[in-house]
Each structure stands twice: as C-alpha cells, then as structure tokens.
A and B are shown apart, each in its own frame.
Chain A
Amino acid sequence: QVQLQESGPGLVKPSETLSLTCSVSGYSISTGFFWGWIRQPPGKALEWIGSLHHGGTIYHNPSLRSRVTISEDTSKNRFSLNLRSLAAADTAVYYCARGGGYTNFFDYWGQGILVTVSS
C-alpha cells in the first residue's frame, strides 16, 4: 500500500520560504510515476502546484512556477517543495500525491498539512 506523509512547519512568515517534505512508503519514487504537490486555501478549490519524475522531469503550474522548486531525495524516498516569497494568499492545506504526469491523475494522497503564512 502506497502511503504519503507531509511534514514541515505549520507557521511561516511573509516573504520567507516554505519547505515541505513528502515521505513515501510502499513504493520507491525512483521506480516510476510522477510525484506532485497540490494545495487548498481555506474555502477555495484545490490547486495543482507541480509534479516531479525521478530523473529530472518537473512540471509546474505556470502561475506558481517562478516561486516553486520541487526536488527529490531518493536515498530517503521522499520529495520536497520549496515555495518562495510567501504571502498570506499562500496559506493553505498542502497535499503531496502520486501522479500529475503521464497518468493524468493522482491516485495516492497524503493527509495534508496546514501552513499558515502570518507574521
């Protein structure tokens, strides 16, 4: 059974950088599939942030591309999200999931982590 778990700070300050990690169990991220990040601001829709494939292919939401870095650590079977220049509008529940590439769907999700951007 594939399981994903997000970790990171629950509170970050405006203008700072958010760093989140998604730890994966039950499947090696270097084996295949894309691995992605999705967020949901309070009361709003889900928003795809980007997805990564082992080997270097990374897809981004054009609206966030300039502020986003997605990377992998295959030795620990996890992948990460860095989101720069934070603003209050980045307050959201952040989810990691498997998918967002050639499968065109997201089949396994983490439980999500609430990140609040506030001074």
Chain B
Amino acid sequence: QSALTQPASVSGSPGQSITISCTGTSSDVGYYNSVSWYQHHPGKGPKFMIYDVSKRPAGVSNRFSGSKSGNTASLTISGLQAEDEADYYCCSYAGSSTFVFGTGTKVTVL
C-alpha cells in the first residue's frame, strides 16, 4: 500500500484557480469512487472538504471541487483566497477495508 502521489507544492495568486492532483493506481483511485480531500492548517486537525470524488460536505465552500480521471483525482480551488493557504491531502479507499492517503500538497497564496 503506497501513498498516493501529490505535487509537493502548488501556488497561485488571489482570485486564481489552482488544481492539485492525486495519483494512485488501478487498485485504489482508479477502481473506487471513494476519494476524499482534507485541508490541514498546522496545529489543527484536518478539515473534511470533499468525499466520493466530487461531493462537498455541508458548510464547505463551492470554490472547492473534485474530479477524477483514470488513476488520478484532482481538487480544484477557484477564487483562491489567503485562508486557503494550507496543506491538502487526498485519501482513497484501497479495497479490503483499507485506506491510503496522499503525500500532501502545500498550497501557497502569493
């Protein structure tokens, strides 16, 4: 069970859109529509942002959206804001009642 691959960092200016990729395999991301995304500010618990690839929990801004193509899931943040600066992690169901997280992406708002 290897960690899903994410870019180490992504940056953008306020108001821009950025996309974070999350690449797995045909045994996890590519097979199951069970990808979730988490926003993590240092010193706090991660915040649940997206589930089942593209669904938003109540209370999460519609500036956050998720998608998937093949073995790669993506999180897009539109209208980037200073408060979006954080680490972001993807997670996928990996079969046999197990879960695997991504390597994490640091988002910087320029």
Contact = CB atoms under 8 A, between A and B. Distances in A.
A45 B102 contact: yes
A11 interface: no
A38 B1 contact: no
Nearest to B97: A59
A106 B57 CA distance: 11
B103 interface: yes
Interface residues of A, number: 25
B1 A107 contact: no
Interface stretch (A66-74, A75-83, A84-92, A108-116): A108-116
Contacts of B38: 46, 106
Interface of B: 1, 3, 32, 34, 36, 38, 43-48, 51-52, 57, 89, 91, 93, 97-104
Given A38-B101, A46-B38, A100-B99, 14 more contacts: A45-B101, A46-B102, A46-B104, A48-B98, A48-B100, A62-B1, A101-B97, A104-B36, A104-B93, A106-B38, A107-B51, A109-B48, A110-B45, A111-B45
Interface of A: 4, 38, 45-48, 59-63, 95, 97, 100-101, 103-112
